[in-house]
Structures are given as structure tokens and as C-alpha cells.
Structure 1
Amino acid sequence: MNGNGHPPSERRVAGLPRNVFVLGMVSLFNDVGSEMIFAIYPLFLATVLGAGAEIIGLIEGIAESMSNILKTFSGWLSDRVSRRKSFVFSGYALSNTVQPLMGLTTAWPQLLVLRSLDRLGKGTRESPRDALVADSASQEEYGRSFGFQRSMDSLGGVLGPILAFAILAYFHYLANPGAPLISYFVSNSTTPATAFRWVFFLAAVPNLLAVALVLLVREKPHLVGRVGKPRLSLAGFDSRFKLYLLAVVVLGLSQLSYTFMILRSRSAGVAVPLIPLLYMFFQLIYAATAAPAGVVSDRIGRRRVLTMGYGVFILMSVGWIFVATPLGAAGLFGLYGLFHGLTDGVQRAFAADLSGGERRGTGLGLYHTGRGLALLPASAIAGVLWAVFGPAAAFIFAGGVASVGLILLSFV
């Protein structure tokens, strides 16, 4: 850092520090592949492997909770050993190895193991990657830098579902030779399991490109080498950071998995072949709003933008209770994208603001762990409520808990 607390000058690309830009490209290609998979993953789990809502909630809760809790240790270790790039590379490599193997599963316990390993890779890389972004930018650029990172994630998330749709369309054509293309959009027939499996296999191509791009990151030992050896605890963090962490935990309890929204869309009349396009719409809105939200948060403050974002989430939760048409489901996925665009990058930037320089990796890790501790019960409770009382109960729970978290956030 220079005397003003800014990173030393380095080459900039598209107005961003070089590392921030490269890591954004890594996220772009990684998400093209991974979102090809996750656009159809809930349908594969429910229709091919036969998992119910409570099983889906359990799988997603375990996987996402594991990912977020591990981010604490990866962030702390990247502070302690003064090496962030190795964590980022190994995390991407692990995830991109196991994701294609999901297409070979024949029972949900097998997928649970692979999904958990995939999230293990994500947990290994994310805190060090976020710390690398923060190391490479001045504090005044945090919102823009994290917003760009999330925007590239979401742009990949737009392209991935389009490719998934194209693959499913091809197999639909093979199964229905001579049928007009419009039949794919209106047909509610069962999609062959082979089509889903090929989506998993082909997604490996862009993911391998993402792993290769990590090698272009230029880590600066003089930026991270002077970091101390922090204890993995809240000691040393002020009361404002601790209150923010509490709000993050409560808000995390409201975050039921997107898989429930895809299942709810099916009951609202959305045909199976259209699900990837619905997921693409969510990612499109997310990509369009993430970077501007970061810039706005630099100007008016993180808390105000987060308040708007969680207000959108509460509105969306109410909408899922009553939705009855495909058009309505599409609109709610749009709100879901707006919610993520307003909150994902800004939440991380707020954690970086409040945790400070030498403990930034640990602070971001604690932020991710706070969310991780909440995500397991969030999805598990939503799955049980869905199975026992119906979909409305799961979304009432989500909106109610988010309201409590929003109140806590107002005091940060």
C-alpha cells in the first residue's frame, strides 16, 4: 500500500486494476460452464434422480453451508501464509473436475457427494479471490470492483443457460424428428435423461478455460506478505462489524435455494424446456444491475443499497406465494435477479469496509461463515415446510425472516 492506503499503481484494463479485470474474466468463463449445469440441475435432481423437496433442501443446505463455512478458513489461511492465488487456483480446479461427473449419477446420495465437493472448491477459492480483488483496488473502488466481479459472474450466467437450452433443444429434436421448433416451447413432455447428462459433460469446456486464466493473475507479495497472523475469531473487530455479521446471519436464514423457485415455476405452468430461459432471465437482470449497484453504493452508502435489495426480496417472496402463470413466474425471476444484483457484491464490499486492511481475508471469511451457518437450516427448513404444508409456507418463512434481518441491518 502507498501512503494513502491505495494499492501501488499497476496496469489498468477497461478502467479497472489488471487483477480485478482478469478475475472477472475467470468468473465469466467459470459461470458459463457452471450455470449451464445449474440451469437444469433442479430438474435433473427432481425428474431424473427422483428427489423430493425435502431432499433437495437438505442437499442444497449441506452444500452451500459447507461452502460458506470453508470460506472462513480459506480467507484466514490466505492471510496467514501470504498466498491467495494458490487457493483460488485449487478451488476452481476442484469444482471444475467434479461438476461434469454429476452427469454420471444415478441416485441423489451420489449427487450429494459431488455437489458437496463442488462447493468445497467454491469455499476454497472465494474468500482469497475476494481478498485479491480488494488488495488490487483502492477502498473507493471496492463497490465498482466487487460489482464488476459479480457482473461477470452473471454475464456467464446468461450465456450458460442459453447453451443449456440449445443442448436440450437438440435432444428434443432428435426425440421428435420433423416436429416444428415451436413445439419445444409449448411441449410439456419429459426431457430425456441423456439431454441433461450431456449438459454436464459439455460444461467442462468453459470451466477449463477459467482455470487456465487464473494463471494470469499477478499476486504481489509486498501487498500480502506483510499481513500478520490473525486469530480466527471476532477479537479485534469492532461492534459495528459484529452487528453486521449478526444481520448477515439472520438475512442468510431467509435465503432458500433457487431450486425451490424453479420447482414453483413448474407448478405455475412453466414447461420443462423453458426453465433454462427463465433462469437466464434471472441472470440477465443480475448481470445488468450488479455493477451499477456497486457504483451507487460507493456514492450513497452500502446500507441503503442493501435495504433496497432486501425490500425487493420480501416483495418477491410474497409474489411466489400467489403466482399462477408462467409470465408471473418470469417476472418473479426478474425480481430475484434484481435482489442479487443489489446485494451480492455490495454485501461483500460492506464486509471489506468494516473489517479493515490486515484482517480483510479473515473478515470476509467470517462474513461467508455467518451466511454458511444460516444456509443449512434455511434450505432444510424450507424443504420441510414445502413438503408438509406446501410451497406457500416456504416463501412465508423466507419473507418473514428477511424482514427481521432488515431491521437489524438498519442499526449497522
Structure 2
Amino acid sequence: MDRGLRNVIALGLVSLFNDVSTEMVISLFPAFLIRILGAPMRILGVIEGASEAVSYILRAPFGYVSDRFRRRKPLVITGYGISTVVKPFLALATSWVHALTVRVFDRLGKAVRTAPRDALIADSVDRSISGKAFGIHRSLDQLGAIVGPVIAFSLLAIIGYRGVFLVSAIPGAVALLILAMVVKEVRPKSTRRSMNSSTGLKTPLTRDLTRYLIVTFIFSLGLYNYAFILAYAMNVCELRPEFTPLIYTLMNILHVMSGLPFGILGDAMGVLMALSIAYLLLCLSSLMALLVPSLVVLVAVTIIYGVFQGAFETLSRASIATIAREARGTAYGFFYVALGLGGLLGNFTIGALWDLAGYRIAFAYSAIMSLIAFFMIHAFFKPLIGKGS
């Protein structure tokens, strides 16, 4: 096997075990916060909003640091280490302030590691197989999102919430062990073109990257997360709440299954062309939700959305590897800021439209934004669309 792909698989296993640890905590966190700590729903919103803001906004500076010092692995280890150490402290929480502190530091760890990790994946392989590389990583990563909740709910009746939080340290420690012993540092390539005289770094904001960030931001304005699918299942299709985990599981299984095939497809036809197809998948999922509600429609919406998740998560990151030749840590940081800020506004807008005008208007808005992004990416990258990586 290619040495670079071995590095990608090792990073994928790191993400898998870390995600098992994270999902063991996250799957129980809302119930723990509300039922055990007695916090109101608005506090849950404050905690999740604050933690995700930290996660996305701080990714750019840590990506820059990995470019500046031309080393990715120390930041990746630091980021995973912070998350692994702080999550078990949730077992000691006696107020929502303690829970907020743990969640913010956990997401800080994610901010530290994410851009350098993605840059390390991109640096490990040739651009011609970047789609495959990110597909492998994404599928392994998302597999942890399936295994983690299963372990959590299996242990909950035996050791309780606090016990599960303590046990979550075990898969986190395994992730750190693999990272320290198996993952290899790959020095990013550099040239003398477009160097910043004060830092020696290549300027990452090229015209193509700037355009890609604009398209990403526009698309994310219509991007909703899985919670809206579950709300659609319960409130529109009248699915009983106890069956919503089945919808969530189906979504995650398709997420895992679609990442690698779409990555390989991106390598064959061009990652930007394949990414534009992912945009259409979200549009199709939204349009399906406009049909007369039924179990069949719900399953179709869930399947399409699950496939979209795997395709988008893989191809949007692989596109950076194609567009940004250097300073990839910074480029990934900018990408996550655009995606995070747009997603924050998008989810708020879709939720507001749902409350004020109904779910059909909300999903129609998402479909329109997906189409706008589809046409924008074809207009901006016409010479690259359809070309392999």
C-alpha cells in the first residue's frame, strides 16, 4: 500500500476512536444537561452555540501556525489531547457552567487539530487521489458516530451518565496512541512564488481559493444539519419519537457508505464537478421534503441527505487540496470559517422560516441556495470542472 495512504488510514483510525469517545458524550449530553443538571433549553442553545463558534472561528489561526512552522503533527496531537483530557471531567459537573467549560475546551481541541489534520492528509498523497484519501478518512471518522452512541446507550443503564463520560477516555486514549506511534509527519511542499516577505509563507488567498470560499459560504447559507431531518420526521411525517434514532442511524450509515465512492468519483471526474453534484443532492433532498408527507418520502429524504453528507464532507475538503497548492493549513482554516459562519446563519434562517412560514418554505429556501451555489461553482471554475484532480 502507498505510504501516504497508510498515513491517511492511520489518521482515519485516530478520528474513528476519537469520534467514538466524542459521541459517547454528545449523545447523552442534552439529557444530562436538562435532566441531571436541571438546565433550561436556552442554556443548551447557549452551550452548543458557544462551543461551535470556538470550534470554527479558531481553526484559521491554528491552520496558519501549522503552515508557519511547517509541522502539522504536534498541533494534531495537541488538539486530540485537549479533547481526550477534558471530556471525562463532565462526570464531575454539578452545574451548567461546568458543562459549558468542558464543551468549550473540547471544541477548542477540535479547532486546534482540524485544519492541520486536513492539511496533513492533503500533504500525504498526490492531488490525483485526494478524493479517495478524504473519502477514506471521512468514512472511518463517521463510523465512530455510529459506534459511539451504541456503546453509550449500552452502558448507560449499568454505570449511568457520569460513568459513561469517564469511560469515554478509553477510546480517546487509543486515538492518541495511534496518532503518536503510527501517523507520520509530512513536511508541506514549498516554492518561492507568492511568498510573504515577513513570514516566508505563500499567500493562500489566491483568486481560485477566494472564489471557492464565496461559493462555500453561499451554499452553507442553505445548509441545514441533521436535526431538521429529525424534526421533519416527528413534526411533519408524524413519526413517533422513539423511532427517530432509526432515522439518525440510517442517515449515518449512508454517510459512511458514500464518502469513499464519491471521493473516487471526484478523482475520476474532477472534485469540483463531483462537489457540484453533492450540491444537487441537498437540493433534491429539500425538494423531496416538499412532497406530501409519508413514510416513503421520509425514507427517501433521509437516504438522499445521508448520501449528500458523505459526498459533501469528502469533496469539499478534497477541493481545497486541489485549489490550494501551498499554505494548506491556512486555506483549510479559512474554509472552515466560511463554512461555520455560513452554516450558523443558514441554520438560523431555515429555523426562522420554518417557524414563521412553515417547513415547505424553509426547505424551498435551502433548495434555491443549493442551486445558486451549483451555478456559481460552474461559473467560477469552468476551466476546472470536469477535469480530474
TM class by shorter-chain length?
0.7 to 0.9
CA contact 1:98–1:118 (8 Å) conserved in 2: yes
Shift in Å, 1:374? 1.5
Distance 2:373 2:68 in 1: 32
2:151 alignment partner in structure 1: 163
**Aligned partner of 1:374: which letter?**
G
Shift in Å, 1:350? 0.8
Residue pairs, 1:112-191, within 5 angstroms:
112-167=100-155, 170=157
The answer to whether 1:203 aligns with 2:175 is no
Residue pairs, 1:19-58, within 5 angstroms:
19-41=7-29, 51-52=40-41
CA contact 1:57–1:381 (8 Å) conserved in 2: no
Identity over aligned pairs, percent: 31
1:378 alignment partner in structure 2: 346
Distance 2:202 2:366 in 1: 28
1:363 alignment partner in structure 2: 331
Distance 2:320 2:356 in 1: 37
Distance 1:59 1:323 in 2: 36
TM-score, normalised via structure 2 length: 0.82
Q: 1:258 aligns with which of 202, 217, 226?
A: 226
Moved more, 41-50 or 361-370: 41-50
Shift in Å, 1:220? 4.1
Residue pairs, 1:72-91, within 5 angstroms:
72-91=60-79
CA contact 1:323–1:329 (8 Å) conserved in 2: no
CA contact 2:25–2:164 (8 Å) conserved in 1: yes
The answer to whether 1:309 aligns with 2:278 is yes
Question: 1:329-361 deviations in whole A, cap 9, x for unaligned?
Answer: 4443322220111111111111111111x3222
Q: 2:210 aligns with which of 242, 249, 263?
A: 242
CA contact 1:147–1:345 (8 Å) conserved in 2: yes
Q: 2:303 aligns with which of 331, 334, 340?
A: 334
CA contact 2:71–2:185 (8 Å) conserved in 1: no
Backbone CA RMSD of aligned residues:
3.4
CA contact 2:222–2:350 (8 Å) conserved in 1: no
**Aligned partner of 2:12: which letter?**
G
1:96 alignment partner in structure 2: 84
Distance 1:104 1:328 in 2: 44
Question: 1:217-273 deviations in whole A, cap 9, x for unaligned?
Answer: 45447x248688856999564322211110011112222333333344333444444
The answer to whether 1:278 aligns with 2:247 is yes
Q: Which structure ranks higher in relative contact order (CA pairs < 8 Å, sequence separation ≥ 6)?
A: 1
What's the secondary structure of 1:254's corresponding residue?
coil
- Unpaired segments ≥5 residues, structure 2: 382-389
Distance 1:253 1:109 in 2: 31
TM-score, normalised via structure 1 length: 0.78
Shift in Å, 1:312? 1.5
Moved more, 262-271 or 27-36: 262-271
Shift in Å, 1:298? 0.4
CA contact 2:250–2:302 (8 Å) conserved in 1: yes
Distance 2:108 2:292 in 1: 35
